[in-house]
Structure 1
Amino acid sequence: MSGFTIGLAILGGIVLALVVAWNAWTQRRLQPRQPMMAERAEPAAGQQPVEPSFDPVFEPGVTSLPVPERKPGLDALIDVLAPIAVEAAVSGEAALAAMPATRRAGSKPFAIEGWNEATQHWEMPQAGQRYGAFQAGVQLANRLGALNEIEFSEFVVKTQAFADAINGAPEFPEMLHEVARARELDQFASGHDAQLGFTLRARNAAWSPGYVHQNAARLGFTVGAIPGRMVLPAAQPGHPPILALSFDTQAALAEDPTQAAIRDVTLSLDVPQVHRGEQPFVRMRDAALELAAAMDGVITDDNGQVIRPEGLDVIGADLEQLYDTLEARDLAAGSPLARRLFS
């Protein structure tokens, strides 16, 4: 075989190897990114292995959190109230038996509270307690709109039926006045209801669900009840999550999650639902920036426009004004009344 033929064979082999390598690199580049496998450290002799846990993330300078609060009750600020007088104290059992089957009037929450003679507090009736008075209430507005005349009438019917069952006498406010109050509150709420969302888009390779979970978990996010949703828990148990991170549900439910391709995830903040002291926007901004850096992504708005760090700071400044306005109306973000109104 001549030297020229051998040279051609070698050159052909090199070209073939380059083609194979190129195809392998391209296929790897297009595959969804997978979570990194962390090395498992062996516990020292006599030590018990410690399970990993996710603790709330605290911002520098934040040394306290909202104190525990009593379960929110009826309040004239956002509820229509109808006092119910009784001739004699009523047992909790009798009150519970007289309760209406549903706790809504149309689309608005409806509730009845009793004045506990022992604790001297308004509360939902409980067995074993005695109540010297009652009050019924229906919420003036929520995210479905203002209380209307039909809902007010349903409130009156439910309250009257309860009062009749316990030999009570209700006193109802004037309907037109309360409906007008509902519209004013709804107008205020609609103008100050902020729900923020950032989209994190993959620059190059897509992400697998496990890859998203791993990176979000490092920032304190935990798996939510809905597939494709993770949440950053509030410091106070029972409160709404500070942030939510969501992605395609079908990818989350895929038979082979390693092959499910996710090209974008959404970070969202329901501003009125989260206490200002949690610094929710600061944590949302930092989470977006850290995830973008770690996952090779870019932060965009709903229209696909890139949001730069300085743009995030402008949004944060606007939110501070919103917090001040809500507090001036006694509807501070994250308070029981705000969580009820903006729901």
Structure 2
Amino acid sequence: MSTLQISLAIAGGLVLAGVVAHSTWSSRRNAPRQALPEAGNGAGRAAPADGTEPARTEPTFDDDLAASHPLPVPEKKPGMDALIDVIAPIALDAPVSGDAALAAMPPTRRAGSKPFAIEGFNEVAQHWETPVPGQRYGAFQAGVQLANRTGALNEIEYSEFVMKAQAFADAVNGAPDFPEMLDEVARARELDQFASDHDAQLGFSLRAQRAAWSPGYVQQNAARLGFVPGVIPGRMVLPASVAGLPPLLGLAFDTQAAMADDPAQSALREVTLSLDVPQVDRGEQPFTRMREAAAALCAAMDGIVTDDNGQPLVPEAMDVIGADLEQLYDTLDARDLSAGSALARRLFS
């Protein structure tokens, strides 16, 4: 082999090596960012796609937030309320046992799309409650919700309510007293209009600025903020401070990516951070927590916060949203439907 041939072979080898190296670098740069094993102190981090060492950034919330705002307190199981329910009293000739009442209950607890309920007046405890075995009740009341997010109670649903309540009353030898249907349907429409005008479900889109994210990478960073897996794949929630209450925030990404055979190879370029305003007590400062979560996740994952149209959300725009929410909270308070209350959670569901 001549010197020229050897030189050309060497040059070709170098070019090939360069192509392979560039291809490997590009593939690594464009691959979804992956979650890394947590360090011994529990604070792991994911390296950026280009391989450079990032500054250590741990997403955090404001530690003084919980101390500066009163938090909701646990409440008893919510009962019927004339503000959002049609209530029909059922008079009895004699007390009825809880066992008999439960046996007389209808098989479903809905009238159309509206929740239906029976409550009994416990003679010993002297309060209304859902019938339980071993107790005795001196009266009952049947109720159906006037409105929810499916709309207002209509005439057909009211008629179904009457039939179910009458059947229960017959079974316990009771006499129901039903309100006038047209009056209740009109009240339902007014309540539904108020609810429609004052419902708010906010969403921020968090978009990757450069490399995409794997589901595990998103989950790892969100978990550091207190988010836990939801029931649906691709959904996480930030629990409320009181067990049993709706979550403060939701975090969602593509369900198919979360259920893929190899989720690590799924590339996410967007996740959604959400707040169901009427479901969460304002004392939890959920919008402030939402802003903090968005900022912390974007800082940790090299993302940007946008609206539904992909436009960046600047702090001034978020301030306006926050001011509007305070007015909404005040309006709900004035109507005795405070955000996060049992009545608000039922109405806005």
Q: How does 1:179-328 map to 2 (within 5 A)?
A: 179-328=185-334
Cα deviations by residue, 1:287-328 (Å, 9 ceiling, x for unpaired): 011111111111111121221222112111111111110010
| SS, match of residue 68 in structure 2 | coil
Distance 1:41 1:240, change over 3 A: closer
CA distance in structure 2 between the aligned counterparts of 1:125 and 1:189, rounded to whole angstroms: 30
* CA contact 1:84–1:171 (8 Å) conserved in 2: yes
- Counterpart in the other structure of 2:34: 34
| SS, match of residue 293 in structure 1 | helix
CA distance in structure 2 between the aligned counterparts of 1:267 and 1:166, rounded to whole angstroms: 49
Point out the more displaced range, 109-118 or 33-42: 33-42
Q: How big is the shift at 1:87?
A: 1.2
- Counterpart in the other structure of 2:130: 124
CA distance in structure 1 between the aligned counterparts of 2:182 and 2:64, rounded to whole angstroms: 47
* CA contact 1:56–1:233 (8 Å) conserved in 2: no
Cα deviations by residue, 1:83-115 (Å, 9 ceiling, x for unpaired): 011111111111111111111111100001000
| SS, match of residue 89 in structure 2 | strand
Q: How big is the shift at 1:243?
A: 0.5
* CA contact 1:209–1:260 (8 Å) conserved in 2: yes
- Counterpart in the other structure of 1:51: none
- Counterpart in the other structure of 2:51: none
Q: Taking every aligned residue pair, what percent have the same amino acid on both sides?
A: 73
Q: How big is the shift at 1:63?
A: 5.7
The code of the aligned residue for 1:109 comes to P
One of 82, 94, 98 as aligned partner of 1:92: 98
* CA contact 2:69–2:283 (8 Å) conserved in 1: no
The code of the aligned residue for 2:39 comes to E
Q: How big is the shift at 1:8?
A: 6.8
Q: How big is the shift at 1:19?
A: 2.8
* CA contact 2:69–2:285 (8 Å) conserved in 1: no
| SS, match of residue 142 in structure 2 | strand
- Counterpart in the other structure of 2:57: none
Point out the more displaced range, 31-40 or 152-161: 31-40
CA distance in structure 2 between the aligned counterparts of 1:287 and 1:310, rounded to whole angstroms: 17
* CA contact 2:207–2:303 (8 Å) conserved in 1: yes
Q: How big is the shift at 1:279?
A: 0.8
Distance 1:318 1:120, change over 3 A: same
- Counterpart in the other structure of 1:24: 24
Q: How big is the shift at 1:231?
A: 0.5
The code of the aligned residue for 1:327 comes to D
CA distance in structure 2 between the aligned counterparts of 1:80 and 1:272, rounded to whole angstroms: 22
* CA contact 1:228–1:249 (8 Å) conserved in 2: yes
Distance 1:64 1:24, change over 3 A: same
Cα deviations by residue, 1:259-287 (Å, 9 ceiling, x for unpaired): 11111111111100011111111111110
1:106 aligns with 2:112: yes
* CA contact 1:56–1:234 (8 Å) conserved in 2: no
CA distance in structure 2 between the aligned counterparts of 1:109 and 1:36, rounded to whole angstroms: 46
- Counterpart in the other structure of 1:146: 152
Point out the more displaced range, 57-66 or 178-187: 57-66
Distance 1:96 1:226, change over 3 A: same
List runs of 5+ in structure 1 lacking aligned partners. 43-54
